[in-house]
Amino acid sequence: MSIANIITLLGGLGMFLYGMDKMSENLERAAGDRLQKVIEMLTSNIFKGILIGAVVTAIIQSSSATTVMVVGFVNAGIMSLAQAVGVIMGANIGTTMTAWIISLGDLSGVLSIFKPSFLAPVCLIVGVALSMVFSKNKKLNDYLGILIGFGLLFLGMLTMEQSVSVLKDLPRFQEVFSSFKNPVLGVLVGAGVTAIIQSSSASVGILQAAAAAGLVTFSAAVPIVMGQNIGTCVTALLSSIGANKNARRAAMLHLYFNLIGTVVIMALIYIAKSTIGIGFWDSIVSRTNIAQFHTVFNVTNTIILLPATRLLVWLANKTVTGGQEEAITKYIDNRFLSTPSLALSQTMKEILRMGHIAQENVMLTEQLILNKDKSVVDKIIKNEETIDTLETELTIYLTKIAEKQVNVEDNRIIPGLFHTINDLERIGDHAMNIMEIAVDTYERKCEFSDTAQNELSTLYECTYKIIDITLMAYKEDSVEIAQKIEPLEEVIDEIIESLKERHVKRVINMECNVQSSYNFMELLNNFERIGDHCSNIGISTIQRNDKSVSANFHEYLQKLHENADESYKENYKKYLERYQI
């Protein structure tokens, strides 16, 4: 084999791998967070998990990507190990789709128009030409990227086939493939090649290229294909490094499923060969034959191990021992960054979780202020540490998403999410300020009067309401709910101004001492700021759903107050009557 042939082979392999990567990347981006919604449909029903795993993998053309997502979901606590088993089984079935696409090269007659030799240039011409014309349309370019990826994949496949075809008549090369009839060696080669290129679809494609040249027999293909399923586990195992224990167990589930299936099915095949014989054992196989065996093997493996899912979970738990450590973040995971829309969706969930922790801290301060329950101090401090950590982690994670090739719509809402993270962190800070003021009040023995306590009770009530509306609007992504925030924020401002005036009168009448007066005013300032931050979050929610809303918060609020509609006025009146002091 000449150096030119070797270079051609490697060039074809590189083109094939790049085409597959580009196709998968654009498929994932086009699918966006719909992938997450599909996977999150999972229940304890393992059959649904298998179906979803197969469909998602067939769409994104990568069992490794699906399995890495599963590891990420388990790491984030979204998916249990029992649910992960079904998706992993389905992923192995879905990954056979690539082999069937490659087998189009065996078509003849009228169907030959679907052969890679015809489709490759068509996909590339159409994909490249349209992407140049519509270069600014990112959404369309995701779909054109899929087309270009297909073209490169087919072209790489053809190049590999041409370079391998010259080896057909070389005795040494034939001897190499004959040695793969040894099941152990064949499995090791299949696993090794797949582990190196981290794609079972790609390694099966390489095998199909050799089959197209008439170099592969059924006896050589069987162990290699089985080994490829084991080798693809490397990607998930690598992705689980640094993850929590359940995520590492999910990666081990993937390995055990393929390892046990390979041993069992290989034993059955070789027992059949030794007893009843397999007539086509030494026959040359085609690309379609390899696609057929790849599918039959994975479907059979799933059927055999389906009743043994508890055993797989038990083995994973025994391999990765110990309890599950608690992570600060729950929903975000670096594994999701390969699909920016999915990562963004997970970020929004984590932000909501951060909001609920900040909300809890505000509620805990009431027990301290009004009920003098000092036992909540440690909980408030711990929550504040979590909020600060989440702010850092979410900001870093969102920055990583922004650096990706996100679609236009995702790119538009990212700045508002940065603002929301900051506003929630500030709400947490104000809750801490209230706690510190309360502690100082008790330590100095300058408690608030009964009148001041009653006023604060009302203020807490409307503060809870505005936080609750804010988080609900954010969760539901609802403009209608978000529009109720600003009228309540205006009422809170008026209540606070009224409370300040009333308090000044109490001071003049010597009903409050200087220190308690200062602390009371500081409390009011912090409640006012909490309302302001809720208003900001509400505007961000509206902006996500209404492109016409100004990015300038102050400009938006000014126009809102100047041109208040009937709905605004009605909500304002309702809140004013409800929270009268």
What was the pLDDT predicted at 545? Answer: 84
Tell me which of 272 and 182 has the higher pLDDT: 272
The domain limits of the chain are 3-319, 334-578
What was the pLDDT predicted at 383? Answer: 94
- φ, ψ dihedrals at 217, nearest 5°: -100, 165
384's tokens: 């504040």
Residue 469 amino acid letter: I
pLDDT at 135 over 80: no
What was the pLDDT predicted at 355? Answer: 96
Q: How confident is the model at residue 247 (pLDDT cuts 50, 70, 90)?
A: confident
pLDDT in tens, 348-377: 999 999 999 999 999 999 998 888 888 999
Report the range of poorest mean pLDDT among 121-135, 142-156, 486-500.
142-156
pLDDT at 47 over 60: yes
Euclidean distance between CA atoms 166 and 467, whole angstroms: 72
Distances (CA, A) of 448 to 170, 212, 218, 366, 524: 96, 87, 87, 14, 13
What was the pLDDT predicted at 263? Answer: 92
Q: Which bin fits 289, alpha (ψ -120 to 50), beta or left (φ > 0)?
A: alpha
pLDDT at 404 over 60: yes
Please give the class, per CATH, of domain 334-578. mainly alpha
What was the pLDDT predicted at 440? Answer: 86
Placement of tokens 């009148």 in the chain: 451
Euclidean distance between CA atoms 491 and 465, whole angstroms: 12
pLDDT at 40 over 80: no
Placement of tokens 């997450």 in the chain: 36
Euclidean distance between CA atoms 340 and 345, whole angstroms: 9
Mean of pLDDT over the chain = 82
What was the pLDDT predicted at 434? Answer: 94
Q: How confident is the model at residue 326 (pLDDT cuts 50, 70, 90)?
A: low
